[in-house]
Each structure stands twice: as structure tokens, then as C-alpha cells.
Amino acid sequence: VTAAKFDSLAEAAFEAYIHERPDEFHYCPSPDCMQVYRPAPSGNTLQCPSCLLHICPQYHVKQHDGIDCPDRDGGVHLFNEWIKTHNVKNCPSCKVPIERAEGCNHVTCIRCRTHICWVCMQTFPRGDGIYNHMRAEHGGI
């Protein structure tokens, strides 16, 4: 096996492992950071070792300095209401919101690169089989 092939296989295995354990691992909420971390015990602020962003342990978002979590809950509620009316779903793997405006029901999460069937939210870590799935389960793409 070539070094490039080995690296590709190792990356795929890592992504599959993380993908299958959404309660154990989270991606850093910084848009350009792909760092994976384990949640800390409640109340302990985390710092991403890659981009140094401070992360709220309860919501897994950028630390909301000066705003208590209960105050932040109001904004979360408003955002969740907006999501319901704008064709937005959370990525099943990393939980980042994804908006699908139009087109094919095969979407790819910009954060974790998981391939997703928009109809049923089944995931395909490398994209293999998604079109066969959509044809068999949903009658088309």
C-alpha cells in the first residue's frame, strides 16, 4: 500500500469513527477549524488546541462571554424557530446547521464533509452508495 493510499484509508477510518460517535466527539465550532474534541465535564470551558477558540461546554459553540447560558437560550430558541421555516437541518455527524435551497437531495456538510441524504438524513461518510440509496428508498435523486 502506498503512503498516499494509507493516509487516505486512515483518514476515512478516523472520519467514520468520529461520525459514529456524535455524543462522544464534537468538531470545533470555528468555521475553518477541523479539530475534534471530547466534551469536558459541565461547567469547564474548553480551548481548542488548534485554533485556540474558547468553547462553551454546554452548547459546543464559541464561548459566549458575558452572557449566561439561560440568557443565551432565548437566542437559541429564536434560531430554532427560524430553522423550522427555512429548510435547515443539522448535520447528523457534527450537528452544524445546513440549509438546502434547491437541487439534489445529496448534500455534503461543509464542516465534516459527511455526505447526507436530505430526505431521511442517512449519512454516507465517503459518499459511496448515496445515489443508489436515494433511488431505492426515495424513488429518485
> How far from each other are the two terminal CA atoms of the chain, in whole angstroms?
35
Just list the catalytic residues: 104
Rounded to whole angstroms, the Cα distance separating 58 from 63 reads 10
Full-model pTM: 0.52
- In the three-class reduction of DSSP (H, G, I as helix; E, B as strand; rest coil), residue 49 is classed as coil
Contact between residue 25 and residue 37 where contact means Cβ atoms under 8 Å apart:
yes
Q: What is the pLDDT of residues 86-96, one digit of tens each?
A: 889 989 988 88
Q: What is the pLDDT of residues 54-70, one digit of tens each?
A: 888 777 878 776 666 65
Q: Which three cell numbers stand for residue 51?
A: 485554533
CA angle 50, 18, 14 (to 5 degrees): 80
What percent of the chain is helix, strand and coil (3-state, nearest 5)?
30, 15, 55
The string of DSSP letters for 11-32 reads HHHHHHHHHT-TTT-EE-SSTT
Contact between residue 2 and residue 8 where contact means Cβ atoms under 8 Å apart:
no
Rounded to whole angstroms, the Cα distance separating 22 from 15 reads 11
Confidence band for 84, pLDDT divided at 50, 70 and 90: confident
Q: What is the pLDDT of residues 26-51, one digit of tens each?
A: 889 888 898 999 887 766 778 999 99
Whole-number pLDDT of residue 123? 92
